[in-house]
Chains A and B, each alone.
Chain A
Amino acid sequence: MTELDRTIHEPARLRILTILSGVDKADFKFLLTTLRLTRGNLSSHMARLEDAGYVKVIKSFNGKIPHTDYRMTKVGQKAITEYWTSLDEIRTLNKN
């Protein structure tokens, strides 16, 4: 049986990882304004992705203002590729 990664399967997290797969890094504000999530929601999703090892958090300062960037890790890249493979397998099974 093909199992989907439930961490990635959640729509918002899937979109976050997809965006991060297309860029080198993106900051919290970009993800917030693009996905139109609340700060709390985005924070919880990012924490979940970080715990899974799919994204790396890069903390820095813009002057005195803290700044948070996110970058997809190799584990995250592998996980999202496997997710799409699993989804394709499910589709094939469903068709047959």
Chain B
Amino acid sequence: MKTSTESEKGHGKAEEMQEIAKLAHSYAEGRRIGPFLVYWVVFILLCAAIGLPSHFAGGAYLAGNMVGFWLCIAALVLAVGAAVWFAVRGDRWMERTAERLYGREGRATVAVPQTRRNKKWFTVALVLFLGCIIASVILDLPTEYMQPISAIYTVPFLVFLVAWNRREIGLGMLLWPGLYAAHAILIVAGAPIRFSGEWESLNMLIPIAGYGLLLGLIGYAVNRLTLRKLKKLTRVDPAGGPANGEGN
């Protein structure tokens, strides 16, 4: 029988081992933050591709420019089609992105819950969200309150998006809709954080894309630190390796 000291020699403390399991889990959970960031940038571009033709279609219709109007509608249909394709096929694309980003360090995954595989709810939420964007552009809502009004449908969508991807990006990303809501409240309260003039449309794009990217980048950095810590803890002392025989 081994003594406690012998048992722990080269094996680390039990707490260290528990830490290894936690770090491995945390690393595997956070591994999709990188591809999620890329995914999010593409998503924002798609939103812009939907929002801009919607905006110009309204103007063209009011000006009686039917050619311009139908061109905008065609662009809108293409953009919505691309968004739906991305919602359905985006998972495989994200997997390939993950392979490119993390190829050198191998792969560790956590189990994906059954609800995560059900894309139906994501597609429904995405269509509703895109519908709200189109409606808010067509209804020509007051521009000074564009961001606070958008928060009414954006915050629930972001909460859903984070909850739906919680195993991949973690619930810490709920800060994202939180910041977006706080931004809306500050605007309503009259804080000087509003874009005006020709940059007015940025009032919505900057908070939604900016806060998401900021938190995603922080999450990615945390994931890198987790891996570094995991490697430090799991590094096997060569003297305890199988080459030296013990227990092999």
The reply to whether the CB of B100 lies closer than 8 angstroms to some CB of chain A is: no
Smallest CB-CB separation from A15: which chain B residue?
A: B234
With A22-B28, A36-B231 as given contacts, are A87 and B7 in contact (CB-CB < 8 Å)?
yes
Partner of A30 from the list B99, B105, B242 (CB cut-off 8 Å) is: B105
A50 sits at the interface (CB 8 A): no
With A10-B242, A35-B236, A36-B231 known as contacts, the answer to whether A26 contacts B247 (CB < 8 A) is: no
Q: Which of B80-88, B106-114, B185-193 contacts A (4 or more CB under 8 A)?
A: B106-114
Distance (whole angstroms) from the CB of B195 to the closest CB of chain A: 44
Could you tell me the dominant secondary structure of chain A's interface residues? helix
User: Nearest Cβ in chain B — how far from A68, in angstroms?
Assistant: 10
| Residues of chain A contacted by B234 (CB below 8 angstroms) | 15, 18-19, 34-35
Query: Of B5, B107, B111, B227, which one neighbours A29 at CB under 8 angstroms?
Result: B107
B10 at the interface (CB under 8 A from A): yes
| Bound complex: CA A84 to CA B4 (Å) | 12
**Could you tell me the distance in whole angstroms from the C-beta of B25 to the nearest C-beta in chain A?**
4
Interface size on A, residues (CB 8 A): 46
Number of A-B contacts (CB under 8 A): 130
Per-position 1/0 for B104-129, Cβ under 8 A of A: 11111111000000000000000000
Cβ contacts A to B, 23 pairs, < 8 Å: A2-B1, A6-B247, A9-B247, A11-B10, A11-B11, A12-B242, A19-B20, A19-B230, A20-B24, A22-B25, A22-B28, A23-B24, A24-B28, A24-B109, A27-B106, A32-B106, A33-B231, A34-B227, A35-B235, A84-B17, A87-B7, A91-B4, A94-B3
Chain A residues proximal to chain B, CB less than 8 Å: 1-4, 6-7, 9-15, 18-37, 41, 44-45, 48, 62, 69, 84, 87-88, 90-91, 94-95
